[in-house]
Amino acid sequence: MDNFIPEVLQAVPGEGYSIFVYFNDGTVRKYDASRLVTQPGVFRKLQDMDTFRSCMTVLNGTVAWDLEGNRDETRCIDIDPFTVYDSPVVKDPLENMQTA
Domains of the chain in sequence order: 8-85 (3.30.2020)
Cβ-contact 66, 57 below 8 angstroms: yes
Task: Compute the distance between CA of residue 58 and CA of residue 71 in angstroms, rounded to an integer.
Answer: 10
Sequential pLDDT tens for the chain (100 residues): 578 999 999 999 999 999 999 999 999 999 999 999 999 999 999 999 999 999 999 999 999 999 999 999 999 999 999 999 999 999 999 887 766 5
Q: What is the mean pLDDT of the chain?
A: 93
Cα(35)–Cα(93) distance, integer angstroms: 22
What confidence tens digit (pLDDT) does each residue in 43-63 have? 999 999 999 999 999 999 999
10 Å CB burial of residue 24 (0-12, 13-18, 19+) is middle
